[in-house]
């Protein structure tokens, strides 16, 4: 599986199971101030990043061997500044539950953990990032 198809599997899971907010997909135009269907303009939204770690060969000598990739799925929750942290952490909890302990498409996701919240003052957002470490086993 290529990095592109592995990422697509994560995107597909998120798209199929997340309806709470709009999703800002990487390298796709997104304006959080524009109304989006059933979502209000300026409302909360999420984005995500896949941070790839190391790949190593886990079996040797066969025609097909096991290769393991590791990494971290980062789920970024953005809510309005100045309204407290409850909404951001509630959304972060829901995102964590969507991936924590899940296995699909060769991925195994482990325990999720949040980073401390941060104000993005110029943009007007409060951000909480949830990290979900994973491994991806593939045979080549």
**pLDDT tens digits, one per residue of 84-117:** 999 999 999 999 999 999 999 999 999 999 999 9
Q: What tokens were used for 99?
A: 């991936």
C-alpha angle 132-45-80 in degrees, rounded to nearest 5: 110
C-alpha angle 94-95-97 in degrees, rounded to nearest 5: 65
Count the domains in the chain: 1
96 within 8 A of 112, measured Cβ to Cβ: yes
Of 122, 121, 47, 39, the C-alpha closest to 78 is: 47
Q: Is the pLDDT of residue 1 over 80?
A: no
Task: Give the global pTM.
Answer: 0.87
- At 138 the pLDDT is 82
Of 19 and 66, the structure prediction assigns the larger pLDDT to: 19
Of 135, 133, 1, the C-alpha closest to 68 is: 135
Of 65 and 134, the structure prediction assigns the larger pLDDT to: 134
103 within 8 A of 109, measured Cβ to Cβ: yes
Burial of 92 (0-12, 13-18, 19+ CB in 10 A): buried
Query: Domain containing 66 — which CATH number?
Result: 3.30.2000.20
Residue found by looking up tokens 């980073």 in the block? 115
Domain that holds residue 103: 3-139
């Amino acid at each position: 599986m290529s990095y592109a198809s592995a990422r697509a599997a994560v995107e597909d899971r998120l798209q199929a199971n997340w309806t709470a907010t709009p999703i800002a997909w990487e390298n796709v135009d997104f304006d959080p101030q524009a109304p989006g269907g059933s979502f209000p303009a300026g409302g909360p939204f999420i984005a995500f990043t896949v941070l790839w770690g190391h790949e190593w060969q886990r079996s040797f000598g066969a025609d097909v061997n096991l290769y393991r990739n590791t990494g971290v799925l980062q789920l970024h929750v953005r809510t309005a500044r100045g309204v407290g942290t409850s909404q951001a952490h509630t959304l972060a909890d829901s995102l964590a539950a969507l991936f924590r302990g899940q296995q699909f498409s060769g991925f195994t996701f482990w325990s999720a953990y949040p980073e401390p919240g941060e104000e993005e003052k110029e943009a007007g957002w409060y951000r909480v990032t949830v990290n979900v470490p994973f491994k991806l086993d593939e045979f080549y």
